[in-house]
Chains A and B, each alone.
Chain A
Amino acid sequence: MRITSRLVTPFIQVYGIYVILHGHLSPGGGFSGGAIFGASLILIALSFNLEAGVKQISHQTASILESGGVLGFLLTGLVAIIFGGNYLANQAAGFPIGQAGELFSAGAILIITVFVGIKVASTIVTLFYNIIEGEK
């Protein structure tokens, strides 16, 4: 169990990051990719113990990432207002659209997807840790 999870965890994390970053190109996105990434951190805590999981990402870091995800989402919307569009506007606010089909395209969609992914991953991890600790 420990050897398998140690082998598999990096691949799960890379796949989670891939799903997040390709949210505007292929099926997936911030929510599903963040869930995959959070599941890899839960796998560490399940196969070793809770202390090993907390060592990977502490409570402090998790809550900062948590709030940072939502704040980043909100601020991306505010940037659109500053550049003269509606709230959360994409092309109308002058975000670079780029060539459709490439990795760095779609303007605000990529930024917001990354923030949502960070938020979902830290939410899942925080939820798991708190429920496990609450049982003690």
Chain B
Amino acid sequence: MIYIFLLFLVILTLFLRFFKGVEVKTILTLYLLGLIIFLFSFTVAEMPPFGSPDNPAFNEVPQRYLEAGVAETGAVNIVSSVIIDYRAFDTLGEATVLFVAIAAVIATLKSH
């Protein structure tokens, strides 16, 4: 199996180098990127299944939000109660990012 794969790589290298005229450096870059994708796909395979109740994200924090969110914030939309009440400081940071971005754009592009 591994020999077939290596043979495929050699053939691909020769094909790209001599029939398509691709630089050796570009081919090596492609192989490095392929290796990184291969390694990262192992990480994806290790991730917990989507929506499973045993996931580490389903601890007491979202349970508290879902059970007591309406009583504590008065907002029916739980997403809104999380981003503007429980995690309001994070949203303030988001607004600050927007403000800094627009200040940078004006400072760079102001034509008059």
Contacts and interface: CB of A to CB of B under 8 A. Distances in A.
A70 B71 CA distance: 28
Interface in A69-84: 69-70, 73-74, 77
Interface in B56-92: 70-77, 79-81, 83-85, 88-89, 91-92
Interface residues of A, number: 43
A60 B112 CA distance: 13
Nearest to B70: A100
Interface in A15-55: 23-27, 29-31
Contacts of A130: 105-106, 109-110
Contacts of A131: 105, 109
Contacts of A101: 76
A130 B111 CA distance: 8
Contact of B74 (A26, A63, A100): A100
Given A70-B99, A91-B73, A100-B76, A109 B109 contact: no
Interface of B: 70-77, 79-81, 83-85, 88-89, 91-92, 94-96, 98-99, 101-102, 105-106, 108-112
Given A105-B74, A119-B98, A130-B106, 4 more contacts: A24-B76, A90-B73, A91-B73, A97-B73
Interface of A: 23-27, 29-31, 63, 66-67, 69-70, 73-74, 77, 87-88, 90-91, 97-101, 105-109, 112-113, 116, 119-120, 123, 126-127, 130-131, 133-134, 136
25 contacts: A23-B77, A24-B74, A24-B77, A70-B95, A77-B92, A88-B92, A90-B88, A91-B73, A91-B74, A97-B73, A98-B74, A100-B71, A100-B75, A105-B74, A109-B80, A113-B84, A119-B95, A123-B99, A126-B102, A127-B102, A131-B105, A133-B111, A133-B112, A134-B108, A134-B109
